[in-house]
Chains A and B, each alone.
Chain A
């Protein structure tokens, strides 16, 4: 049973309950806003948007640095009945223009420094800059307030009421990189967001005293938990800037000084913190849960982190943007020292159902297949991509609509799902089926390997496997040593043909290993 029809009703409720409580705090500057002020500021943006004619179902873009202002913008847009479309302020203007044009935003909340480029790129697409709330900067909500006051000075927006959203109304569109090279918009409804956040409440049991990290950028699906779960419970969101989020020493200090109680990020940043954050300097007793998602957490890095911060509950959350988290695994308190495989992705979240499908049929217990998900958290579809939407789902005999995750899993004896790899990362080589993730897991077992990623390219030889490896500082790379190590771990046909040694692997804006760039690099070799 969902606790709200729409995501933004939670802000109004928390503002009534905890008006003076800090809703959002910026980790670097310690600028903050209370629930009462956040509610009021988002009301002002709502009034402006409604005055401009924004209606239920419209889309409004956000091109802002992470800040109190950006959180207020998200809620203002939702209160006006529209869906928010956050773009990556660090991405090229051409990409952001593509996204805003693709979903025909009716308005945009944007920082002044992005306007010129964005306008130029929109013109190149034959579009125009939509009605805009332009902020001179971001921080603490003041810039949004000023921008709205300036607009009011020439054209006053009368007070409106928050729009009655329906559960099926679009709440946000998150663009993910598409296989075609063009980003595709994942459409998520209020029901999708609310059912997910309610599941989070049931699982992590937050209170208004919790202090949540907001590490992920707002265009990444991890932000749905970071933002809306604390707001629902009257807790505090601590925003971590893009720059601070990548700098382990300062980040660890911030996590400690700001007294975070719940941390959520991709594993790569936790690895960086464990390796370089000097975590042993601090008392972490306030930190009660560490959640990670987005990619596989190599077990040796996880073990290091747990040795430095042993007491919190650790959760491995799994799921694509299309479902948000759909399975979860609580890591046991005692680690098995022998374990070299990553942890399971666990069991299906209570607001969803799952099936494992191979060749159109559910598999027998213990067999692997593609994980398919149904239920309240599953996206409506891809914006303006009916064919891709159709391809992403299948409908069962009883009319149930199932999203195909593209991930191959198997259930272990306890019924926990184990992630085997991406359907599209399975390649045939010398007649054998090869899962590229298994090669990566092998490379990670090497004590000198910090990071490893493997891509496969079809070529005249059939399939060539390229490995990209970052070694610990001061280790001399040796192809022979690497291949010899692999030969003791995996069959010959799985050993990468080519190795390239890098200082660190390229990352996407969401901190995942950038496989597209690695594929390009492999093709150029």
Chain B
């Protein structure tokens, strides 16, 4: 399940923020916010995507570098939210 989340998120980030990039370059631990790939607006877009795609709700304080800096972090957050929802 987690792998599915990761690949969905990865596809979205490649499509929206890294068009033309070699997919192999984007790893689960590639820094997104501290690595300059997601700025504040891009982070908000990502949050809306995650909420809609996975049917979760992300609080304002979670839309930050501690929770969203890598695909691994994002997958963990999504996983956690889905777990608590049920």
Contact = CB atoms under 8 A, between A and B. Distances in A.
A255 interface: no
A430 B42 CA distance: 12
A492 interface: yes
Interface in B1-50: 17-22, 25-26, 30-31, 33-37, 39-41
A20 B36 CA distance: 64
A483 B22 contact: no
Nearest to B17: A497
A457 to B, nearest CB: 15
A478 B36 contact: no
Interface in A469-497: 478-481, 483-487, 492-493, 495, 497
Given A478-B21, A480-B21, A480-B25, A430 B39 contact: yes
Task: Pick from A461, A462, A486, A487 the residue with the most CB of B within 10 Å.
Answer: A487
A208 B39 CA distance: 59
Contact of A480 (B26, B33, B39, B41): B26
A499 B37 CA distance: 12
Interface in A428-442: 430
Nearest to B45: A461
A205 B19 CA distance: 54
A17 interface: no
Nearest to A483: B36
Contact of B35 (A461, A462, A480, A497): A480
Contact of A478 (B17, B22, B31): B22
Contacts of A495: 36, 39
Contact of B40 (A483, A485, A492): A492
A498 interface: yes
Q: How large is the interface on B (under 10, 10 to 19, 20 to 34, 35 or more residues)?
A: 10 to 19
A487 B36 contact: yes
Contacts of A483: 35-37
Contacts of B34: 487
Interface string A498-516: 1110000000000000000
Contacts of A479: 18, 20-21, 25
Decide if the interface of chain B is mainly helix, strand, loop or mixed: loop
A498 B26 CA distance: 16
B19 A498 contact: yes
Contacts of B25: 478-481
A265 B21 CA distance: 37
Interface string A390-430: 00000000000000000000000000000000000000001
Task: Pick from A462, A481, A492 the residue with the most CB of B within 10 Å.
Answer: A492
Given A487-B35, A498-B19, A480 B30 contact: yes
Contacts of B22: 478
Nearest to B14: A479
A492 B31 CA distance: 13
B12 to A, nearest CB: 15
A461 B41 contact: yes
A493 B39 contact: yes
B37 to A, nearest CB: 5
A506 B31 CA distance: 33
Contacts of A486: 36
Interface string A87-129: 0000000000000000000000000000000000000000000
Contacts of B39: 430, 492-493, 495
Given A430-B41, A484-B31, A492 B36 contact: yes
Interface string B51-76: 00000000000000000000000000
Contacts of A485: 36
Contacts of B21: 478-480
B7 to A, nearest CB: 17
Contacts of B18: 479-480
A525 B71 CA distance: 27
A427 B28 CA distance: 34
A484 B19 contact: no
Nearest to B37: A483
Given A478-B22, A500-B20, 15 more contacts: A430-B41, A478-B25, A479-B20, A480-B18, A480-B25, A480-B26, A481-B25, A483-B35, A483-B37, A487-B36, A493-B40, A495-B39, A497-B17, A498-B19, A499-B20
Interface of A: 430, 461-462, 478-481, 483-487, 492-493, 495, 497-500
17 contacts: A461-B41, A462-B41, A478-B22, A478-B25, A479-B21, A480-B18, A480-B25, A480-B26, A480-B35, A483-B36, A484-B31, A485-B36, A493-B39, A495-B36, A498-B19, A499-B20, A500-B20
The 8 A-B residue pairs whose C-beta atoms are closest, nearest first, are A487-B36, A483-B36, A484-B35, A492-B39, A479-B21, A495-B36, A479-B18, A486-B36
